[in-house]
């Protein structure tokens, strides 16, 4: 079955450590996205990539970094510069502009 | 004013009720409209995808788009406790960045 796989489902890290969230898709979609979801705030766009080796900042990119070396993969690194990293992170993909977005099951990151 | 407005709820209804969920928007360039259902601690799953105005039906779900009023709706007939979730609307002007509403929390009680 085609889809988006995020791992791990739950992640705990100590304050000051960088952590990388994995996102893999086998939908052959060109565009991939990272969103952050906090209670009552909806989805906020962190980074997106329309094509391999290219990506753009979203609305809340500070403290995050990404790479897009392969079409299937779009990992997100939450750096120690992110002041409030505890959140639910969602990866998504689009086949083409204007089409529907498909989401992974999310990673719940807790920084202690 | 946000581009997409969606009442966060919660909306509480008895089992079997018809549920109406709504979003309003300000960008007249939006022409692709989506509804997602999100259960707690899960990723959103696509329920309906429509282009331009009109109605689209899928089982107990009906999506309605009124571009003249900049208003979209999702109707759920014969609601079930398993429909309890957060429902997000999303819209696109054909670009690579869809715009999401904040979501409406729906509770269907037996």
Mutate to test the interface with A, among B96, B102, B104, B105 (most CBs of A within 10 A): B96
**Backbone dihedral region of A83: left (phi > 0), alpha (psi from -120 to 50 degrees) or beta?**
alpha
Tell me the sheet residues that pair with B85: B106
Tell me the shortest Cα–Cα distance from B80 to chain A, in angstroms. Answer: 23
A73 interfaces chain B, CB cutoff of 8 Å: no
Tell me the shortest Cα–Cα distance from B23 to chain A, in angstroms. Answer: 14
* Distance linking the first and last C-alpha atoms of chain A: 36
Distance CA B5, CA A53 (A): 34
B8 interfaces chain A, CB cutoff of 8 Å: yes
pLDDT tens column, A5-23 = 999 999 999 998 999 999 9
Distance CA A95, CA B1 (A): 30
Over chain A, what is the mean pLDDT?
94
Tell me the sheet residues that pair with B56: B63
- Considering CB atoms only, which of B43, B95, B101 is closest to A104? B43
Tell me the sheet residues that pair with A48: A33, A56
pLDDT tens column, A50-100 = 999 999 999 999 999 999 999 999 999 999 989 899 999 999 999 887 888
Residue A39: predicted pLDDT:
85
Q: In angstroms, what CA-CA distances link B16 with A49, B88, B89, B104?
A: 43, 21, 23, 19
pLDDT tens column, B82-97 = 999 999 999 999 888 9
Distance CA A81, CA B89 (A): 32
Residue B1: predicted pLDDT:
62
What is the bridge-based pairing of β-strands A87-94 and A101-103? antiparallel
Q: Percentage of residues in chain B with pLDDT exceeding 70?
A: 99
**A75: number of CA atoms within 13 Å, CB side?**
13
A45 interfaces chain B, CB cutoff of 8 Å: yes
Tell me the shortest Cα–Cα distance from B2 to chain A, in angstroms. Answer: 12
Q: Any idea how long chain B is?
A: 110
Residue B53: predicted pLDDT:
84
C-beta separation of A98 from B97 below 8 A: no
């Amino acid at each position: 079955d085609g889809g988006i796989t995020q791992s791990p489902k739950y992640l705990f890290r100590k304050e000051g450590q960088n952590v990388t969230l994995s996102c893999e898709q086998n939908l052959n979609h060109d565009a991939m996205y990272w969103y952050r979801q906090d209670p009552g705030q909806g989805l906020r766009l962190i980074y997106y990539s329309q094509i391999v080796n290219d990506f753009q900042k979203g609305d809340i990119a500070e403290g995050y970094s990404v790479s897009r070396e392969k079409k299937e993969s779009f990992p997100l690194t939450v750096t120690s510069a992110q002041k409030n990293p505890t959140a639910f992170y969602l990866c998504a993909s689009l086949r083409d502009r204007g089409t529907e977005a498909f989401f992974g099951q999310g990673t719940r990151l807790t920084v202690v | 004013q946000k581009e997409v407005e969606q009442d966060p709820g919660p909306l509480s209804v008895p089992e079997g009720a018809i549920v109406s969920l709504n979003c309003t928007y300000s960008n007249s360039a939006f022409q692709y409209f989506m509804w997602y259902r999100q259960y707690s601690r899960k990723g959103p799953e696509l329920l309906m995808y429509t282009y331009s105005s009109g109605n689209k039906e899928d089982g107990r779900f009906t999506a309605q788009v009124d571009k003249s009023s900049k208003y979209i709706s999702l109707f759920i007939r014969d609601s079930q406790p398993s429909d309890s979730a957060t429902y997000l609307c999303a819209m696109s002007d054909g670009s690579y960045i869809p715009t999401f509403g904040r979501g409406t929390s729906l509770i269907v009680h037996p």
